[in-house]
Chain A
């Protein structure tokens, strides 16, 4: 595997379900990000992790719970979601969150909440 991978690619869940999104980066980076991409809206930064520590929570509802066990893996645990949470969730990584540079994106997980 190369770059940034995300699983699953598609997820349909009910409002009472609990599910998790997984992201893995194979680039040796130290920072990882979760973004939400909704139709007709700019990408919304949700969380930032730098060297496994959360450095940003962009006022995200508590029904989204991130976890970063190491610099290569990032999870987004989902519970009691709402239909408006349906979106494409993108993971990204970069060398470090304080370093100027590009972010590398995964293909995303298309989430549908029924």
Chain B
């Protein structure tokens, strides 16, 4: 069965600093990978996704992620964090077979941004 691990429950960075959120997945075949962001009181918004092709994917709000098959990782990065990036971030992996295509989510990483 597929699984997602986000090792960091809570990360604090200063505004303007760089950010990397870690995500490791377990899946037997080629994964479909996603990063979602959830602001307080809101639903999940898709930041970016990887299906195939270039392993470095660009998303919204200046985020990018790199798929590394050898490390089973899909880490999210941003070169300079803004206070508005404070939110919870979820990595997800989608299976590619069966009648129901399912997303499996990690437990999330809460990002705090200090001024």
Contact = CB atoms under 8 A, between A and B. Distances in A.
Given A100-B96, A108-B43, A42 B34 contact: no
Of the four ranges (under 10, 10 to 19, 20 to 34, 35 or more), the interface on chain B belongs to 20 to 34
A105 B100 contact: no
Contacts of B41: 107-108, 110
B43 A4 contact: yes
A106 B32 contact: no
A37 to B, nearest CB: 9
A100 B94 contact: yes
B37 to A, nearest CB: 11
A62 B45 CA distance: 30
B11 interface: no
Given A42-B108, A90-B44, A92-B44, 18 more contacts: A4-B43, A6-B43, A42-B104, A42-B105, A45-B102, A48-B100, A48-B102, A97-B99, A97-B101, A98-B98, A100-B96, A101-B101, A102-B46, A102-B49, A106-B43, A107-B43, A108-B41, A108-B42
A50 B101 CA distance: 11
Interface in B75-109: 90, 94, 96, 98-108
A99 B107 contact: no
B27 interface: no
Question: Which of B44, B102, B104: most chain A Cβ within 10 A?
Answer: B44
A55 interface: yes
Given A40-B107, A42-B106, A43-B90, A99 B101 contact: yes
A48 B98 CA distance: 13
Contacts of B49: 102
B34 to A, nearest CB: 6
Identify the 3 closest CB pairs spanning chains A and B, nearest first.
Answer: A105-B43, A105-B44, A43-B105
A38 to B, nearest CB: 11
Interface in A80-114: 90, 92, 94, 97-108, 110
A107 B10 CA distance: 22
